[in-house]
Chain A
């Protein structure tokens, strides 16, 4: 018997649990409240590591390239975040952005339509695509995965039929390629498209956190039946998410046209999965109702930083793909842990 032991022993099982879990619980609470915290840490650590490994990484010119490369996936990820927050997924988002960019490019170059009008029609095509997805999900009650898997093929086929094998090249002047214009701040070179992407994030961070629409979107994704009984018109909320995501895709299409100075039916093969990757790495739960839109920006940046940094160090590009895969699995595992309910 140790008489000198004056530490207070936990008396009940509850006290024991409390004592054991405090450190883990604190981290859990923090991540629960700020889901974008872990991708932020990953991004900062990656930037420091790559900056130390290669002095060219942190040069403003190089960071500008990273931002420009992240602009299209980053803006698409805003739309993808809205859908994933409702516990859905949009596999057609990459096909829609290409279709919309092609409509814009073809109307402007082939039909000689004024740039703004061409943009508007392409934008409406993207919104209509979102409306189709949304109606199929809310009216026919089909799973979003199946709906968008189907519309992925449909929109891809429409794109190829409409393009007739052509790629469209636009001059670097005019309304449609305005998003490709470079603004230089010292040695930083940011395109208008990058600014548009950042504005999308600011706008939707506000809409999701500060408006009733955003709160209803979270509640619907979290537990649709509970939200309905609480008096939220969940079908309307769901439909609005798909239509608004379509509008975001319309803006992304404009950014895409500015970046490649034209439209290419084969431009967006990887955009579907890349947008989902950005959202997942950004800490938004695939099960809905949890996450922050700013996380998706961090997710898109993380992917670009890894690509860029590993390339600068001279690593085989295949390892970049592998690294992104590991990140996705780690992010989803972290989400599982964060969602695990403690009592």
Chain B
């Protein structure tokens, strides 16, 4: 087993008197999909926001490839190689696909045009965007110059995932990527998730959708009331057992599931 790409230990985050995270650990290995499930208020979103730099934990530490890190902003996390696809997608509807892929990290033309006149290299960005999308095998995005608002929900999701994949150096976090999608589009997005894993990235998947989670995840971390209630795998536990632990109907100790040989990875 290789070293973890991302590790969090004892993360605590409170909002006034409300405890969002009560000391959460998380370990993510490269080339795996770690699903995080939990009921509303279990601390999934808070955990993700801390990992992606959108929030700063009150206590606890995070390690990226063994080095201690702290992110003051999402830009910091991004610069370190952690990309996040938010539930709201964070795309600019009126801008085209290529502009959205490079939003916030536009590339300038070489020479004086770029350095003095700050001219964008639209041609190069379009070419690279097309390349990224072809690499990911997203056939639904045909025209790179199309405005994002003219796309369907699944296509928009594909744009957001493609952006994370194109720039995600080490870790990609996906927050409810299939919540708004139909069956076929869900299948496409799960395909993209597997693709990211094949490229050796660590993927964190937050989802309510148990069939999706059990279909694509290597390990599943269950959050309950701001704590981690345990980590299971699709082979050790059934979805029903996962839900039971998630809702507190049982515990991981009481339901150890089928023992499995540790992942060969």
| A interface with B by C-beta (< 8 Å) | 32-33, 206-207, 210-213, 215-216, 218-219, 222-223, 225-232, 289-290, 341-343
Contacts of B78 in A (CB 8 A): 231
Convert B18-44 into 0s and 1s, putting 1 for each residue whose CB lies closer than 8 angstroms to a CB of A.
Answer: 000000000000000000000000000
Lowest 9 A-B CB distances belong to which pairs? A231-B104, A229-B90, A219-B92, A212-B106, A211-B118, A226-B90, A230-B103, A222-B92, A230-B90
Contacts of B120 in A (CB 8 A): 210-212, 215
Convert B89-116 into 0s and 1s, putting 1 for each residue whose CB lies closer than 8 angstroms to a CB of A.
Answer: 1111111000110011110100000000
B139 in the interface (beta carbon within 8 A): no
Determine if A225 and B88 form an interchain contact, defined as CB atoms under 8 angstroms apart: yes
Contacts of B99 in A (CB 8 A): 215
Determine if B119 and A226 form an interchain contact, defined as CB atoms under 8 angstroms apart: no
Contacts of A289 in B (CB 8 A): 92-94
B158 to nearest A CB, angstroms?
15
**Binding site of B, secondary structure by majority: helix, strand, loop or mixed?**
loop
> B104's contact among A206, A232, A290, A342, by CB below 8 Å, is which?
A232
B147 in the interface (beta carbon within 8 A): yes
Indicate whether A226 sits within 8 Å of B74 (C-beta atoms), given known contacts A219-B103, A343-B152.
Answer: no
B106 to nearest A CB, angstroms?
4
Contacts of B95 in A (CB 8 A): 215, 218-219, 222
Contacts of A212 in B (CB 8 A): 106, 108, 118, 120
Question: Would you mind naming 28 contact pairs between A and B with Cβ atoms under 8 Å apart?
Answer: A32-B150, A207-B118, A210-B118, A211-B117, A211-B120, A212-B108, A215-B120, A218-B94, A219-B95, A222-B92, A222-B95, A226-B88, A226-B89, A226-B91, A229-B86, A230-B90, A230-B91, A230-B92, A230-B103, A231-B74, A231-B75, A231-B78, A231-B104, A289-B92, A290-B94, A341-B150, A342-B150, A343-B152
- Distance of A231 Cα from B53 Cα, bound (Å): 11
| B interface with A by C-beta (< 8 Å) | 54, 74-75, 78, 84, 86, 88-95, 99-100, 103-106, 108, 117-120, 122, 147, 149-150, 152
Determine if B94 and A222 form an interchain contact, defined as CB atoms under 8 angstroms apart: yes
- Distance of A289 Cα from B96 Cα, bound (Å): 12
Determine if B74 and A210 form an interchain contact, defined as CB atoms under 8 angstroms apart: no
A225 to B, closest residue via Cβ: B88
- Distance of A228 Cα from B88 Cα, bound (Å): 12
13 other contacts beyond A210-B120, A227-B90, with CB at 8 A cut-off?
A210-B119, A211-B120, A215-B95, A215-B103, A215-B106, A218-B95, A223-B93, A229-B74, A230-B90, A230-B100, A230-B104, A231-B103, A289-B92
- Distance of A219 Cα from B89 Cα, bound (Å): 14
Indicate whether A341 sits within 8 Å of B149 (C-beta atoms), given known contacts A212-B108, A230-B104.
Answer: yes
- Distance of A216 Cα from B147 Cα, bound (Å): 15
Contacts of B152 in A (CB 8 A): 343
Indicate whether A227 sits within 8 Å of B147 (C-beta atoms), given known contacts A215-B120, A222-B93.
Answer: no
Determine if B88 and A32 form an interchain contact, defined as CB atoms under 8 angstroms apart: no
Determine if B92 and A226 form an interchain contact, defined as CB atoms under 8 angstroms apart: yes
Contacts of A290 in B (CB 8 A): 94
A288 to B, closest residue via Cβ: B94
A233 to B, closest residue via Cβ: B75
Determine if B104 and A218 form an interchain contact, defined as CB atoms under 8 angstroms apart: no
A29 to B, closest residue via Cβ: B150
- Distance of A337 Cα from B149 Cα, bound (Å): 14
A231 to B, closest residue via Cβ: B104
- Distance of A218 Cα from B94 Cα, bound (Å): 8
A13 to nearest B CB, angstroms?
15
B260 to nearest A CB, angstroms?
37
Name the residue among B86, B103, B122 with the largest chain A CB count within 10 angstroms: B103
A290 to B, closest residue via Cβ: B94
- Distance of A231 Cα from B119 Cα, bound (Å): 20
- Distance of A339 Cα from B90 Cα, bound (Å): 19
A244 to nearest B CB, angstroms?
13
A100 to nearest B CB, angstroms?
27
Contacts of B122 in A (CB 8 A): 210
